[in-house]
Amino acid sequence: MIAIVGGTGPEGSGLALRWARAGESVIIGSRDAERAKASAAKVAESVGHLGSVEGVDNVTAVKMCDTVVLTVPFAGQAELLKQLKPSFRPGTVLIDATVPLATAVGGRPTRVLGVWQGSAAEQAAELVGKNVTVAAAFHSLSSTVLHSDQPVDCDVIVCSDDERARQVASELATKIPGVRAIDGGKLENARIVEAMTALLITLNIRHKVHGAGWRVTGLGI
């Protein structure tokens, strides 16, 4: 099962929709269990019998699953992970999609904040401790495209210091039609990927679109 913490937002619910369509069992987590249930019911109605979707509070979602995907605004990331730390199962893979956009402090969505640890993903790894392995992924996927019926024309760059976490994140990426998983190296490279997401937002605004994404060429994959 896949827990999506912050799964009621546009990105989290979009990922839930795509993975449920792929036949996965998805647990949508939220601070408000009733809101999570409503979001899960909406996704379940869309996918029919293809997958299983359930909504619970964030703590329960984390306790239920060995794979957790974090899709929350940067402003709430640290506090939430501190709250959830005792609930993670030993060996859990945490896939962090957080981008430290300046909107967290009232700034523009086209700018990123400096993070003391280097990136939001590295901050997450520090907060959850050694019993949880962290991969950074899914930053570049447009929520608008995820909620559509079309293949996603975008690569997902996966950064991690742990090979199993990298593999789990990559396998989830390739369950979304059109997506390729690209090995982005160490977790510290999430600093670059997170900043690239702010550039994607700039491109969306400048070109008046909602689904700009990245493709990496020349890798032969």
Residue 55, burial from CB neighbour count under 10 angstroms (0-12, 13-18, 19+): buried
Q: Residues 6 or more apart from 91 whose CB is under 8 A from it? A: 66, 131, 132, 133
Structure-block tokens of residue 189: 């490279």
Determine the 3-state secondary structure of 99 from DSSP: coil
Domain annotation for the chain: domains and CATH numbers: 2-207 (3.40.50.720)
pLDDT at 78: 95
> CA–CA separation, 165 vs 136, rounded Å?
9
Q: List the structure tokens of 114.
A: 């400096």
- 76 Cβ partners below 8 Å, 6+ apart? 6
The whole-number pLDDT of residue 64 equals 95
pLDDT reported for residue 110? 87
pLDDT digits (tens, 9 = 90+) for 166-203: 999 999 999 999 999 999 999 999 999 999 999 999 99
What is residue 6's predicted lDDT score, i.e. its pLDDT? 92
Side chain identity at residue 145, one-letter code: V
* 3-class secondary structure, 215: coil
Residue 50 has pLDDT above 90, yes or no: no
Helices (H) and strands (E) in the chain, counts: 8, 8
pTM value surpassing 0.85: yes
Among 75-84, 107-116, 154-163, 202-211, the least confident range: 107-116
Give the separation between CA 211 and CA 153, rounded to whole angstroms.
Answer: 9
pLDDT at residue 43 tops 90? yes
Quote the tokens at residue 68. 């957790």
Angle, helices 74-84 vs 120-128, to 10°: value is: 10
Please, what's the largest Cα pairwise distance for the chain? Answer: 46
pLDDT for residue 168: 98
CA separation for the pair 140, 128 (Å, rounded): 23
Q: What does the block give as tokens for 85?
A: 């730390």
The two tokens of residue 71 are 């899709």
